[in-house]
Chains A and B, each alone.
Chain A
Amino acid sequence: MELFTNQVLAGIATGAIYACMALAVVMIYQAIDHLNFAQGEMAMFSTFISWQLMQWGIPYWGAFIIALALSFVGGIAIERILFKPLAKAPVLTNVAGFIALYAIINSSAGLIWDFTIKQYPTPFGSSPFLGSQLISTHQAGMIGVTVLLLIGLYFFFQYTKIGLAMRAAASVPESARLVGINTSWMIALGWGMASAIGAIAGMLIAPVVFLEPNMMGGVLIYGFAAAVLGGLTSPFGAVVGGFLVGVFENLAGTYIPGVGNELKLPIALALIISVLVVKPAGLFGRQIVKRV
């Protein structure tokens, strides 16, 4: 029983990261109807920036805030420069664009900071949380930050004018434009926020997976799995999906014989495919009706 609780708690902790990534993926999907295959690399780059700032002697939280701000601006810049011209292009062209972005970011990170694995500090420490052996303070911190982030986003979208404008621009762009919302900038804002959310995920998971240019590969796939499970149209669903995928992954690795670490990834992917086949809109997504 203790093994079970242990695995569930560990699952919730990693699930928090998947939830952040899924949230970032959903933010961009809402804004432009495309999955950002470069999301993980953007997050990795932000994490490297914060690491570099810390190397220059800036304290953790200072580096954290500056990296967030830079990621936000960077996300907007990427949208303005690279993806705005592609807004009307076919899906295929966009997918190619994301892959190009992936290659560029991954390789320039390798060029600037090289491919060696680096230690990344945690602000929460790694002692047992509240004297319990089940979960470390860093894991508790990850869960806490994710929950705070989610609550913050909820209030932003429900109770601020700009949050309302972003929702309008995402769901009915034509009508939103008619009532005077600058939908083009709302998309850029969505990119900026997604980039910042990804940065948070990257900085939280870096102490666990260590810092290197390929650190986000696996995480992003779990993030996709989480986003699809929860529904690509629902930020709340993405977070729930993230926690579910985290717990599911850990339990499958522990209890299904022959799964082990090697097969954890294929299991997440089998999950994606079965969710898509059984419930294409995900657990909390809206059914999209197509006009003929």
Chain B
Amino acid sequence: MSAAEEVVAEGHQAVEAVPKRAMTLGTGTSLVVLAALIIMPVFVKNFIIFQMTMLLIYGLAVLALNILTGGSGQFSLGQSAFYAVGAYTTAVLMEHFNVNYALTLPIAGVVCFGFGFLFGQPALRLSGVYLALATFALATAMPQLLKLNFLEHWTGGVQGLVVTKPDAPFGLPMSQDMWLYYFSLAVVLAIYIFSVNLLRSRSGRAFMAIRDNEIAASAMGVDVALYKTLAFGVSAAITGIAGSLGAIAVQFVAPDSYTITLAISLFLGMVVGGVGWLPGSIVGAAFIIFVPNMAEGISKGLSGAVFGVLLFLVIYLVPHGARQIAILGQQLVGRLRKN
């Protein structure tokens, strides 16, 4: 607009800094949550077990985004693309090559890691709002790419692919849904422990240094380009595994299940759960699964509006999402103990 010389001082920070220790739960609380997750399916119906499985899967995808954004300070509105690649890898391997479902997960992870790492290369030159835009573009393009004619033999085109649901192994007396729930729980738990340790490691510290101040980080000898693309790769790999689990749980993949709406949901899940707080991922996932349903219950067609209003409430009242509520709760408990 003007020819005036432009010197912008340190711009808006992309993400607020979260101290490393504040990113996880204490051991005691974690064990209680884990025990609850293990016992729960015994008491509820199959449909609720299915929903709990989806909760875990979305939680995993939100966790992946949390590592990328909360950890290394990069945006992504394109997680649905990685989720789709993971889901399709599993579906194609299972249906065309008869690969065991459990084996497809690591393969999907590796494929998505490569995809994310490569996408991270051009993303290196972008930051903040531009990165949001580029990833947004990726997410919008993905369903169209999956519908391409010459891929149709493998992807099934618009119709998509049907995936068979695995039975419980070793003759265990449980329903398919329950087995899948425990299987997902094991995978999610393993990845959660991996992520917590990743963020505590040298690489994790490098991510956070880049998030807080890129220039200072590079002055301290952090290879900014490597760690930024690495963060994209790891995040994509975890999202891809979530996508694989999702494909198995839903028993179906189609291009239109992986639109920009999914990417936006995951993004909202992260904001609601608290950016950079890993346990918040599951809270965020619960928000994106259950709130639209409840809103639909209040009034059909109103779900978007209720969703939006709730989101504004979160932004204004608890800008740090579930993390803030958890900290408040902790302080309250601490005060009660003193009395």
Interface residues in A83-104 (C-beta closer than 8 Å to B): 85-86, 89-93, 95-97, 99-104
Secondary structure of the B side of the interface? helix
Tell me which of B100-108, B110-118, B304-312 binds A.
Answer: B304-312
B302 touches A277 (CB 8 A): no
Chain A proximity mask over B173-198: 1 for CB below 8 Å, otherwise 0? 00000000000000000000000000
Q: In the bound complex, how far is the Cα of B141 from the Cα of A100, in angstroms?
A: 22
A276 near B126: Cβ-Cβ < 8 Å: yes
CB-based contact B6/A266 at 8 Å? no
Contact A289 B308, CB 8 Å, known A99-B268, A269-B138, A272-B137:
no
Q: A276-B125, A286-B6 are in contact. Are A106 and B304 (CB under 8 A)?
A: yes
Determine whether A185 belongs to the interface, using a CB cutoff of 8 Å to chain B: no
A289/B14 in contact, CB under 8 A: no
Q: Assess whether A102 is in contact with B133, with CB atoms less than 8 Å apart.
A: no
Does B264 sit within 8 A of A, measured CB to CB? yes
Cβ A157 vs Cβ B1 within 8 A: yes
Interface residues of A in 26-71 (CB under 8 A from B): 30, 33-35
Q: How many residues of A contact B (CB 8 A)?
A: 59
Bound Cα distance from A125 to B153, whole angstroms: 46
Residues in B with CB closer than 8 Å to A115 are 301
A100 with B10: CB separation less than 8 A: no
Which residues of B sit under 8 angstroms from A168, Cβ to Cβ? 2
- A277–B131 Cα gap in the complex (Å)? 11
Does A107 sit within 8 A of B, measured CB to CB? yes
Evaluate contact between B125 and A277: CB separation under 8 angstroms: yes
Inter-chain contact B312/A100, CB cutoff 8 Å: yes
- CA distance in complex: A263, B148 (Å): 8
Interface residues in A104-163 by Cβ distance below 8 A to B read 104, 106-108, 110-111, 114-115, 157
Bound CA–CA A93/B317 (angstroms): 12
Which residues in A have their C-beta under 8 angstroms from that of B4?
171-172
Chain A proximity of B228: nearest CB distance (Å): 15
Q: How far is the CA of A101 from the CA of B75 in the complex (A)?
A: 19
- Assess the A104–B304 pair: CB atoms within 8 A: yes
- Given A91-B14, A287-B6, 10 further pairs, Cβ under 8 A: A33-B129, A34-B129, A95-B75, A99-B264, A100-B312, A107-B303, A266-B140, A272-B137, A276-B134, A290-B8
User: Chain B: residues with CB nearer than 8 A to chain A?
Assistant: 1-2, 4, 6-16, 69, 75, 77, 122, 125-126, 128-130, 132-134, 136-138, 140-141, 144-145, 147-149, 215, 264, 267-268, 271, 275, 299, 301-305, 307-309, 311-312, 315-316, 319
Of the A-B pairs whose beta carbons lie under 8 Å apart in the complex, a sample of 23, sorted by A's number, is: A30-B1, A35-B133, A85-B316, A86-B315, A91-B128, A92-B275, A96-B311, A99-B268, A100-B307, A104-B304, A104-B305, A104-B309, A106-B304, A107-B303, A171-B2, A228-B130, A233-B1, A262-B147, A273-B134, A276-B125, A280-B126, A288-B6, A289-B7
* A-B pairs with lowest CB-CB distance, top 3: A107-B304, A104-B308, A269-B137
